[in-house]
Structure 1
Amino acid sequence: SVPGTKVELTVSCRNLLDMDTFSKSDPVVVLFVQVSGSSEWKEFGRTEVIDNTLNPDFVRKFVLDYYFEEKQNLRFDVEATVLRGSHSALLGAQDFLGQAFVALGEVIGSQRGRLERPLTGVPGKRCGTILLLAEELSNCRDIVTMQLCANKLDKKDFFGKSDPFLVFYRSNEDGTFTICHKTEVVKNTLNPVWQPFTIPVRALCNGDYDRTVKIDVYDWDRDGSHDFIGEFATSYRELSRAQSQFTVYEVLNPRKKCKKKKYVNSGTVTLLSFSVESEFTFVDYIRGGTQLNFTVAIDFTASNGLPSQPTSLHYASPYQLSAYALALKAVGEIIQDYDSDKLFPAYGFGAKVPPDGKISHQFPLNNNVENPSCAGIEGVLESYLQSLRTVQLYGPTNFAPVINQVAGTAAQVTDGSQYHVLLIITDGVISDMLQTKEAIVTASSLPMSIIIVGVGPAEFEAMEELDGDEVRLSSRGRYAERDIVQFVPFRDYVDDSGNQVLSMARLAKDVLAEIPEQLLSYMKTRDIKPRRADPE
């Protein structure tokens, strides 16, 4: 997946342990990144060594690709380089001064992108603290709009002229190319003018303005065997200047060049216009103080099977969490980094609730109607297991009440400072489809997203319909303003090898991948700009 953005981490330490007898320590910080889905740590890089200080502010920064939907675990080891005689620290003589573990999302989600953590790891000693500052690299947020035309392209079709289109590729570090854009086909002409198109700078060159951008010119054929007309190369920097300089690119076909002595070119391409706009990113809003509020709703209907039976989707063996608990943990552990109070309202639906056995479609899992919030994901899990012991699984499966409940909360603050994410975990047998569609269409104009994880073996056609990826959801002639539902079936992520950590990381990744775009689409349609992160 294309990284959401690049983030630059600046590191400082305060009150480090003093290891040197004659002067203060000479610290260096080493960053390790955990390999996704495993317990292995890989060294990512190290700061410079700063001599004789216990309060270093390092100049060398770490630049990391940032993915909202993944848990990116980082480990910072602080070491003191020790001079042994005339030999320097290159001999690896180092004293350990402490370490800190942190997820990249925690740094970004903390106030103004600043996080302070105690250093630990030296028994019986106070090791001081590490300060991390996360800043997004600005060239990642630019969006380019450009328009090109061509002249006198080679004629490829027997009966008519050519049907030309362009394919753009960005070059990778290893010399390979990745396709990043295709223009539309202009029919039957050797002098096409293509429509203007927009593309993020990071898709075109990953933020490296001098990286090669290769452009191929093809003649479109109905059967898909498009004819190669020729190619030319440029870079983002060259394109940004080309407009004012009226640069004309020669389209060359290497095979023709070799064969024909008099070959000049296969036509030319001219850049008609090129403009750059900055776009606000997900990180801008999070750093500007937008809070993600996470609410959980769990399906307690009888179709899940009796929780005491191993065949039940709610069955938790001594050795393994139920599918419900696994899905909740996978998604919740990432989202909780962006929620400052770590308090999550959690509801159940479709059960008969004590004392009077009334059917409820939004009962608080912690049994506290006044305050349904649980402390952290662990608190939600605890209340969920407690509820399984006290309520009677029943039915029907109604989604609308809990969607309307969260929508009601979301409607109270619409200035962009709060955004709500509702996670519904269900076996997918939905009873109130019409009301649910109506609730989602209404919610689509509010600052909220809905994630549905389907557990169990059911066919989930109804859920696919709610996830408006293919067809925009509508209810009684009203269309959803935005696509706010993301559905995934849990069974797609339970791999045979039994590597649960990896499969749950994949589940979280796919479930959360659309949230940044959904949040941005809300802010954009309301013309809400991120608040400036206040300086100190």
Structure 2
Amino acid sequence: SVPGTKVELTVSCRNLLDMDTFSKSDPVVVLFVQVSGSSEWKEFGRTEVIDNTLNPDFVRKFVLDYYFEEKQNLRFDVASFGAQDFLGQAFVALGEVIGSQRGRLERPLTGVPGKRCGTILLLAEELSNCRDIVTMQLCANKLDKKDFFGKSDPFLVFYRSNEDGTFTICHKTEVVKNTLNPVWQPFTIPVRALCNGDYDRTVKIDVYDWDRDGSHDFIGEFATSYRELSRAQSQFTVYEVLNPRKKCKKKKYVNSGTVTLLSFSVESEFTFVDYIRGGTQLNFTVAIDFTASNGLPSQPTSLHYVSPYQLSAYALALKAVGEIIQDYDSDKLFPAYGFGAKVPPDGKISHQFPLNNNVENPSCAGIEGVLESYLQSLRTVQLYGPTNFAPVINQVAGIAAQVTDGSQYHVLLIITDGVISDMLQTKEAIVTASSLPMSIIIVGVGPAEFEAMEELDGDEVRLSSRGRYAERDIVQFVPFRDYVDDSGNQVLSMARLAKDVLAEIPEQLLSYMKTRDIKPRRADPE
């Protein structure tokens, strides 16, 4: 999968162990990255060595590809160079660094028995030149006439130069018919595409005369760079269009016309990381299907069966998704509900009962707390029916509607066997929720056909209810059975599940912010 972005990590340490007899330690930090879904660690890189200090600020940085939907485990080993003394280590997920305030995280170093090893400080910054977007407009004057019966039909082709001197096409303008003085429409292009973030790299532009049969005639060419273009806007720079073949043949050849840059502006595209660093909190809510179609929890055939040897499909799905999301939720308190059961003391059917049995405060501490309350509920409620999704969706939507300034974003995880009873009401609830800062993840467990869930997902056809269409696609559905692999490697298959379920969340959050024109808050400097 394509990395969401590149993140640069800056490393410092404070109060390191002093291992040298005659001077202070000479620390170096080695970064190891855990290979996805295994217990193997690979060395990623190391900082420079700083002599004689217990409080190093390292200059050499680590640049990592960042994926929101994966747990990217990092291990930092600190050693004293030369003496090869081990000074301690820290384990951290990349998401924790990005999810912490202002992208700064401080962790104690451990690993030297009986000793205080000091701390490691990590700062995560997104590499920025890779997301500017340029809008520009060009026009031309007195281009060569190429068509026998009329003037030319000119268009421009932009190429960026590669390291090896070759060129890659990166943009084509539209064709302006029958003129030697065309004005092309403004167009936008990512700076990445134009020059790969290197502002002085050559950008070559060819001018062609369009022909219906595809054998477009070459009028001429000129070269510039991103830096030159960005300065040109204030000076109305005029580029000469030259045709090398004509230049060689004709002594009096001046040019084949000129191209003028009319306007040039740069905007930054905000990314998921910008919002998280600016303080947007992801609030995670869980809803679990307690309907009778799951089977009696005491029976091994039940989807809720708790065996001493392994977690149920419900518990596995909850853990896989929750463990990644919790890095982005500062209070680590997760409201958790059940639906479709008869609840004590009076056996009333409920579609949003708190798993911890506390109506005032349905939040559980961490994913472990949710699991504990889930297992507790299985022992006390009676699985029943029908399977209604709408009440819990409306419940979370009501909370999401209270804060719409972009500082809070809600993710509702529904785990279900997919036999839905209130399809019309659920569609209505999702269409209403689609204008709020929230996303819904549905994990389908068990053998059912999940057509209804696929319809709610809305990837193929935009979801609608009573003539209203969903403003954004906010539902992501995956069937759990696609991820249970035969080799029994649960770690790997759950990592794949989390990856597919969470892959759409950054885009869904961005689409909410964009339609509301909410800009990320600037992360305050210290």
TM norm. shorter chain > 0.5: yes
- Equivalent residue for 2:334, pick from 335, 338, 344: 344
- Give me the whole-angstrom Cα distance separating, in 1, the residues matched to 2:29 and 2:396: 44
Change in 2 beyond 3 A, CA 1:319/1:284: same
Q: Separation in 2 of the partners of 1:256 and 1:434?
A: 70
CA distance in 2, matches of 1:463, 1:224: 46
**Are the structure 2 counterparts of residues 43 and 307 from structure 1 closer, same or farther at C-alpha, using a change threshold of 3 Å?**
same
Alpha-carbon distance, 1:157 to partner: 15
Distance 1:91 1:130, change over 3 A: closer
C-alpha distance 119-495 of structure 1, shift in aligned 2 (>3 A): same
In the TM superposition, residue 424 of structure 1 has moved relative to its aligned partner by 0.8
Contact 2:130–2:197 (CA under 8 A) maintained in structure 1: yes
- Closer/same/farther in 2, CA of residues 168 and 387 from structure 1, 3 Å limit: farther
CA distance in 1 between partners of 2:212 and 2:308 (Å): 59
CA offsets, 1:365-412, max 9 Å, x none?
Answer: 112212111111111112112222222222111111001111111122
State the SS of the aligned residue for 1:421: strand
TM-aligned CA distance change 1:273 to 1:52, over 3 Å = same
Give a deviation string over 1:21-75, Cα, whole Å, max 9, x none. 1111111111111222222222222222111111111222222222211111111
SS in 1 for 2:121: strand
Question: Counterparts of 2:182 and 2:129 in 1: how far apart (Å)?
Answer: 31
Q: Give the Cα separation in 2 of the matches to 1:231 and 1:456.
A: 62
- 1:263-309, CA deviations, whole angstroms, 9 ceiling, x for partnerless residues? 99999999776432012222222122211110001111122222233
Matched, 1:70 2:60: no
**Which sits farther off after the overlay, 192-201 or 407-416?**
192-201
Paired residue secondary structure (1:58): coil
Q: CA deviation at 1:457?
A: 2.5
Q: Residue 39 and residue 170 in structure 1: after superposition, are their counterparts in 2 closer, same or farther (change >3 A)?
A: farther
Worse-superposed segment, 7-16 or 475-484? 475-484
Residue 473 of structure 2 is aligned with which of 472, 483, 498?
A: 483
Any conservation in 1 of the 2:26–2:81 contact (CA below 8 Å)?
Answer: no
1:303-329 deviation digits (Å, cap 9, x = unpaired): 222223333222343333222212111
Range with greater deviation from structure 2 (5-14 or 475-484)? 475-484
Q: What is the aligned partner in structure 1 of residue 40 from structure 2? A: 40
Instruction: Give how far 1:344 is off.
Output: 0.4
With over 3 angstroms needed to count, the CA separation of the structure-2 counterparts of 1:2 and 1:385, relative to structure 1, is same
Aligned residue among 478, 483, 493 for 1:493: 483
The secondary structure found in structure 2 opposite 1:240 is: helix
Please give the secondary structure, in 1, of the residue aligned with 2:182: coil
Aligned-pair CA distance for 1:332:
0.7
Shift of residue 120 of structure 1?
0.4
**1:221 is aligned to 2:222:** no
CA distance 1:91–1:490, shift in 2 (3 Å): same
Contact 2:132 2:268 in 1 (8 A): yes
2:210 & 2:295 partners in 1: Cα distance? 56
1:461 shift after superposition: 2.2
Give the superposition deviation at 1:244: 7.7
Range moving further from structure 2, 428-437 or 216-225: 216-225
Distance 1:246 1:380, change over 3 A: same
Provide the rounded CA distance (Å) in 2 between the counterparts of 1:176 and 1:333: 45
User: 1:144 and 1:304, CA in 2 relative to 1: closer, same or farther beyond 3 A?
Assistant: farther
CA distance in 1, matches of 2:309, 2:146: 66
1:94/1:424 CA distance change after superposition, 3 Å: same
Structure 1 pair 174–408 and aligned structure 2 pair: CA distance change class (3 A): farther
The alpha-carbon deviation at position 481 of structure 1 amounts to: 2.2
Aligned equivalents of 1:399, 1:223: Cα separation in 2: 57
Change (3 A) 1:268 1:296: farther
Contact 2:285-2:334 at 8 Å conserved across structures:
yes
CA deviations 1:336-355 (Å, max 9, x no partner) are: 00111101001111112222
How far apart are residue 250 of structure 1 and its match?
12
Partner of 2:303: 313
Change in 2 beyond 3 A, CA 1:302/1:276? same
Pairs within 5 Å for 1:95-494: 95-146=85-136, 196-202=186-192, 207-209=197-199, 240=230, 274-494=264-484
> Is contact 2:73–2:92 with CA below 8 Å preserved after alignment?
yes
The structure-2 alpha-carbon separation of the partners of 1:2 and 1:157, relative to structure 1 and needing over 3 Å to count, comes to farther
Partners of 2:28 and 2:81 within 8 A in 1: no
In structure 1, how many angstroms separate the alpha carbons of the residues matched to 2:463 and 2:437?
A: 17
> Which is further off, 232-241 or 271-280?
232-241
Q: Looking at CA atoms only, which structure, 1 or 2, has the larger radius of gyration?
A: 2
Shift of 1:262: 18
Aligned pair in 2 of structure 1 residues 465, 187: CA closer, same or farther (>3 Å)?
A: farther
SS for the counterpart of 1:262 is: coil
Q: Which moved more, 1:422-431 or 1:190-199?
A: 190-199
CA contact (8 A) 2:28 2:80 kept: no
Distance 2:165 2:308 in 1: 51
- CA-CA distance at 1:239 after TM superposition: 6.1
The separation in 2 between residues aligned to 1:8 and 1:403, in whole angstroms, is: 38
Q: Mean Cα displacement is larger for which, 451-460 or 19-28?
A: 451-460
Rounded to whole Å, the distance in 2 between the matches of 1:261 and 1:321 is 84
Matches of 1:381 and 1:147, distance apart in 2: 57
Would you say the 8 A contact 2:26–2:52 is kept in 1?
Answer: yes
Change (3 A) 1:194 1:400: farther
SS in 1 for 2:42: strand
**Counterpart Cα distance in 2 of 1:467 and 1:222:** 43
**Secondary structure, in 3 states, of the residue corresponding to 1:516?**
helix
Distance 1:165 1:493, change over 3 A: farther
> How much does 1:422 deviate?
0.6
1:511 aligns with 2:501: yes
- In 2 relative to 1, CA 393–375 (structure 1 residues): closer, same or farther, beyond 3 Å? same
Select between 221-230 and 365-374 the one with higher mean Cα deviation.
221-230
Distance 1:126 1:221, change over 3 A: farther
Cα separation, partners in 2 of 1:474 and 1:15, compared to 1, 3 Å: same
Q: Relative to structure 2, which stretch is displaced further, 345-354 or 253-262?
A: 253-262
Structure 1 residue matching 2:80: 3-state secondary structure: helix
* CA separation of 1:306 and 1:117: change in aligned 2, threshold 3 A: same
Give SS of 1:440's match.
helix
Do 2:137 and 2:185's aligned partners in 1 also have CA atoms closer than 8 Å? yes
Aligned length: 525
- Report the Cα distance in structure 2 between the residues aligned to 1:223 and 1:458, rounded to whole angstroms: 54
| Pair 1:351–1:264, CA change in 2 (3 A) | farther
Uncovered stretches (5+) of structure 2, i.e. residues with no partner: none
Q: What's the RMSD between the two structures over aligned residues?
A: 4.4
Distance 2:19 2:359 in 1: 55
Q: What is the Cα deviation at residue 529 of structure 1?
A: 2.5
Deviation larger for 270-279 or 170-179: 170-179
Structure 1 pair 53–328 and aligned structure 2 pair: CA distance change class (3 A): same
> How much does 1:95 deviate?
0.8
Question: What residue is the counterpart of 1:86 in the other structure?
Answer: none
TM superposition shift of 1:155: 14
CA distance in 2, matches of 1:76, 1:490: 34
**Inter-CA distance 315–260: structure 2 relative to 1 (3 Å threshold):** farther
Q: 1:201 offset after TM fit, Å? A: 3.3
TM-score by length of 1: 0.81
CA offsets per residue over residues 199-229 of structure 1, 9 Å max, x none? 4434655544466889999999999999999
Distance 1:398 1:118 in 2: 46
Q: Mean Cα displacement is larger for which, 448-457 or 520-529?
A: 520-529
Q: What are the superposed Cα offsets for residues 110-144 of structure 1, whole Å, 9 maximum, x if unpaired?
A: 11211110000111111011111112222133123
Q: Unaligned 5+ residue runs, structure 1?
A: 78-88
